Amino acid sequence: MAAEKPRNGLTYASAGVDINEKDSFTESLESTMRRTFGPRVIPNPGGFAGLFRLDYKKGLFSRNYKDPVLVACCDGVGTKVKLAAEMGVFNTVGIDLVAMNVNDLIVQGAEPLIFLDYIAVPRVDKKMLAALVEGVAEGCRQSGCALLGGETANMPDVYAPGDFDLAGFCVGVVELKRAINPTRVKPGDVVLGLASAGIHSNGYSLVRKVVKHAGLDLGKVYEELSEAEKAPRGQRGKGAKKRRGGGAARTLGEVLLTPTRIYAGNIVKLQRNYRVKNVISGMAHITGSGLADNLVRSIPKGCDAVIDRSSWPVPPVFTFLQEQGNIDDEEMKRVFNLGIGYCVIVRKAFAESIKEQLEKLGEAVYVIGEIVKGKGVVREK
């Protein structure tokens, strides 16, 4: 009888997926995640899903919901991840991932509760993945939600070496009577604009095209990008090199990787100051499609929002990109936030007070427009 031929010995690892490396990385995340936990997270070692109390019935911490509504959203970072990969800087896009979700969620008046991430990679690189998750955890700490779990997908046949992608999922809660909807907005309301930290996480396919087209150097400090000297309090990048005059010199790449500003913590604090009165009539997160196309989603058909674009400073990064890419004004308005990352529509009698409260919390706030009778559009003054 002929001897039996040896088997080929194919393994999952030989196909490009190392289960041991993935499991080892997953186990290493426990301490990072725990730093985002509050008293409502229920320990669940070895569980297949995270557990979170909707309420916390202990004295001052109790929420005492009467008619709670869960609010959920999902978003990613887009092609900003390509820039992060090119520069080898991964923690900032983790913050972006949380920001893009929680900033959407609070528009409905909700408090962020839990966050989960999905990271897809061609192979497990522990150092790179740890930086990503550290960024996600930092974003969760800033927004007051728990990083309850996530998934790391090792897919060598889908992603080329150096590629990766991120997605995030956020769940929050709001009392039904406090939920924000466009029908609250009335003529006479004031539109407050909260400053962005820069480009945030939209328009990066065009940004990268400009960098390539103009032959820009991501590692170079361009004097035109002196945004650090002009940035509102709390919006300057960490670790930037000091310049004369107290400012900070950052390379083009560092400027472009500035994380999306997280408004969740301050908006939630503001709303807690008005538990009875509904003085906030609408809100909008200014992302892709710019100010007009996002703000219009927050006004009813019988109203227009009239915006004065001269009422806030446009960060230098936008002027720089426009000049380098020869981009026309309308395209800039349609693609980028141009300095306003979030809008709060408030009753006129409370506008100044709310502006002052947000400024004390660290936001740069501008009165950028008003609500008038109209046809449900956003137009410029």
Three-state secondary structure along the chain? CCCCCCCCCCCCHHHCCCHHHHHHHHHHCHHHHHCCCCCCEECCCCCCCCEECCCCCCHHHCCCCCCEEEEEEEEECCCHHHHHHHHCCCHHHHHHHHHHHHHHHHHHCCEEEEEEEEEEECCCCHHHHHHHHHHHHHHHHHHCCEEEEEEEEECCCCCCCCCCEEEEEEEEEEEHHHCCCHHHCCCCCEEEEEECCCCCCCCHHHHHHHHHHHCCCCCCCCHHHCHHHHCCCCCCCCCCEECCCCCEECCHHHHHCCCCCCCHHHHHHHHHCCCCCCCEEEEEECCCCHHHHHHHHHCCCCEEEEECHHHCCCCHHHHHHHHHHCCCHHHHHHHCCCCEEEEEEECHHHHHHHHHHHHHCCCCEEEEEEEEECCCCEEEC
What's the pLDDT band for 9 if we cut at 50, 70, 90? confident
Any idea which of 5-14, 197-206, 349-358, 360-369 has the lowest mean pLDDT? 5-14
Residue 140's domain spans which residues? 15-52+64-178
| Residue 220 shares a structural domain with residue 272 | yes
Domain boundary among 144, 178, 212: 178
Mean pLDDT (whole number) for 265-275: 93
Based on the fold, state whether residues 149 and 277 are members of the same structural domain. no
Which residues are CB-neighbours of 31 under 8 A, at least 6 positions away? none
Residues 102 and 90 in one domain: yes
**Position 230 confidence tier, pLDDT thresholds 50, 70, 90:** very low
* Cα–Cα distance for residue pair 290/288, rounded to 1 Å: 5
**Residue 5 predicted with pLDDT over 70:** no
Are 222 and 332 in the same domain? yes
18 or 303, higher pLDDT: 303
Taking 70 as the threshold, does the pLDDT of residue 246 lie above it? no
pLDDT in tens, 22-64: 777 777 778 888 889 988 898 888 888 999 988 877 665 677 7
Q: Could you tell me the two tokens for 56?
A: 């916390």
Same domain, yes or no, for 155 and 208? no
In a domain, 308, yes or no: yes
Confirm whether 255 is domain-assigned: yes
- The CATH number assigned to the domain holding 152 equals 3.30.1330.10
Residue 282 bridge partners (DSSP): 345
Q: Could you tell me the two tokens for 216?
A: 């820009």
Domain assignment present for residue 6? The answer is no
Same domain as 223, residue 124: no
Same domain for 246 and 352?
A: yes
Let me know if residue 166 belongs to a domain: yes
Q: How far is the C-alpha of 306 from the C-alpha of 372, rounded, in Å?
A: 7
For residue 8, tell me if it sits in a domain. Answer: no
Helices 91-105, 126-143: axis angle to 10 degrees equals: 30
| pLDDT range class, residue 163, cuts 50, 70, 90 | very high
Name the amino acid, one letter, at 240.
A
What is the signed CA dihedral for 316, 364, 287, 200, rounded to 10 degrees?
50
pLDDT-derived band of residue 14, with 50, 70 and 90 as boundaries? Answer: confident
Considering the domain boundaries, does residue 157 fall inside one? yes
Provide the number of structural domains found in the chain: 2
CATH number for 233: 3.90.650.10
How much of the chain, in percent, has pLDDT values that exceed 70? 90
Residue 247 counted as domain residue: yes
Tell me: pLDDT of 231 over 70: no
Residue 58 lies in a domain: no
Domain boundary residue, one of 148, 178, 208? 178
What digits encode the pLDDT tens for the residues 54-102?
A: 887 766 567 778 899 999 999 999 999 999 999 999 999 999 999 999 9
Cα separation, 29 vs 134, in Å, equals 9
Domain co-membership, 36 together with 171: yes
Same domain assignment for residues 165 and 239: no
Q: Clarify whether residues 110 and 192 are in a common domain.
A: no
pTM: 0.89
191 shares a domain with 171: no
Above 60 in pLDDT, residue 177? yes
Q: Which residues of 79-92 are buried (b: 16+ CB within 10 A; e: fewer)?
A: bbbbbbeebeebbb
Within 8 A by CB and 6+ apart from 204, the residues are 78, 79, 80, 82, 83
Give me the count of residues in the chain.
Answer: 381
Same domain membership, residue 252 and residue 135:
no
Domain boundary (114, 143, 178) is at 178
